[in-house]
Amino acid sequence: MPVTISIPRESTFPGSDWTALSRHWHPVAFCHELCAAPIGVRLLDVRVVVWRTPDGVRAAPDLCQHRGASLSQGRVSGRDIVCPYHGYAFDPSGRCTHIPSQPDALVPRKLCLNLFGCREQGGIVWVCLDPESTETPPEFPEAVDPAFQVVPVTPVIEWQASAGRQVESFCDVAHFAFVHPQTFAVKDPVVPRYEVRPGDRGLVAEFESHVGNVGDAGAERFRWRRVYHLHLPFTARLVVHFPGGGRLVILNAASPVSARLTRLFAVVARDFDHDKPVSDIVAFQHRVYGEDRAIVEGQHPEELPVDLHDEVHLRADRTSVEYRRLLARIGLGRHFTS
């Protein structure tokens, strides 16, 4: 039964920001992680249980209405999730189907699960805390395109940083020469003019660069087209068009655990080199993210300042300027810096 959830008492977000973010879909797990057992996650400071039923994935507050036990410590039995404390069972619609201590009891109205929105898309489980929301989870078309090999970047890494700072760093094109000289950047730090235009649910930024893997002979001579598709609030999909025609796609889906803690769900897809080991691509992606994380975890304030007066912007920062404007438009406050 859908019931609007209120802001958790331990929320690290300002109230209006929490409400705005609760209307959107956020990643909480990779689909392959969600097997027979329920799992407990934290999203926007809310404890959430996620589980798999024959009718699809489900999410609810990780709290049984009987005595507050954590349902994520329970189990799935047939169609039902079963509470670990007194064994009450709940079906995929959230209805209580069994009270073992009193099987004939009339089930009190309040004894049910207030389900959140929960969907699988692109190999990721997405949750939306607002059951009235009309938003949809971000698209990842390459995940269902047979031309692409799709590789989740596991294990999932936690960043001691806000999701906004993480996503902005993923879309920042002016840091390559400074942060990634050991992995993929060439030495020239100059950012050519690039375009940012409105996207379906955010923005699209197109950037031509001669970024290449270090050691690629003559990488400077090539042009690599990088197209960022940003889906508000915290997911970006980068399509890198290689000089030879191949495409490498990185889905960067940041989960706002709290205002200052982010779990990063990243997936890489490529339409070439299918015979090469996927472990190499995962290790490489972890190295690159490790370089970013060292910077982002040191940024202050930890939250992304949505007010454009708070930091300094140059032409090379067009994507982040537009990103901050859009975050303001979806309702994040001028002082998204709790």
**Residue 330: Cβ-neighbour burial (10 angstroms; 0-12, 13-18, 19+):** middle
Give yes or no for residue 83 binding ligand FES (CB under 6 A): yes
Q: Which of residues 142, 168, 292, 302 is near Fe ion by CB under 5 A? A: 292
State the sign of the Cα–Cα–Cα–Cα dihedral 188, 191, 192, 198.
positive
Token duo for residue 68? 């507050």
Taking CB under 6 A as the criterion, which residues in 10-69 touch ligand FES?
64, 66-67, 69
Count of CB atoms within 10 A of residue 36's CB? 9
| Least gap, CB of 172 to ligand FES (angstroms) | 46
| Residue 241, contacted partner among Fe ion, ligand FES, none, CB below 5-8 A by kind | none
CA distance 149 to 61: 35
Give yes or no for residue 81 binding ligand FES (CB under 6 A): no
What does 125-192 look like in DSSP terms, one character per residue? Answer: EEEES-TT----PPP-GGGG-TT-EEEE--SPEEESS-HHHHHHHHH--SSHHHH-TTTT--S--PPP
Q: Which of residues 5, 8, 85, 285 is near ligand FES by CB under 6 A? A: 85
| Least gap, CB of 82 to ligand FES (angstroms) | 9
| Residue 31, contacted partner among Fe ion, ligand FES, none, CB below 5-8 A by kind | none
**In sequence order, which ranges of the chain are alpha helices (DSSP H)?**
15-22, 163-171, 176-179, 278-296, 318-329
Q: Which stretch binds ligand FES (CB under 6 A): 12-20, 79-87, 195-203, 257-265?
A: 79-87
Q: Which stretch binds Fe ion (CB under 5 A): 68-76, 189-197, 260-268, 289-297?
A: 289-297
Give yes or no for residue 86 binding ligand FES (CB under 6 A): yes
Give yes or no for residue 168 binding Fe ion (CB under 5 A): no
- # residues near Fe ion by CB under 5 A: 1
C-alpha separations of 54 from 37, 73, 90, 152 in Å = 13, 20, 13, 24
| Least gap, CB of 138 to ligand FES (angstroms) | 34
| Least gap, CB of 1 to ligand FES (angstroms) | 17
| Residue 292, contacted partner among Fe ion, ligand FES, none, CB below 5-8 A by kind | Fe ion
In the complex, residue closest to Fe ion by CB:
292
**Comparison of 90 and 184: residue with beta carbon closer to ligand FES:** 90
Task: Tell which phi-psi region holds residue 299, choosing left (phi > 0), alpha (psi between -120 and 50) or beta.
Answer: beta
**Comparison of 292 and 303: residue with beta carbon closer to Fe ion:** 292
Whether 135 contacts 26, CB under 8 Å? no
Element holding 197 (H helix, E strand): strand 195-198
Which residues lie near ligand FES (CB under 6 A)? Answer: 64, 66-67, 69, 83, 85-86, 88
Which residues lie near Fe ion (CB under 5 A)? Answer: 292
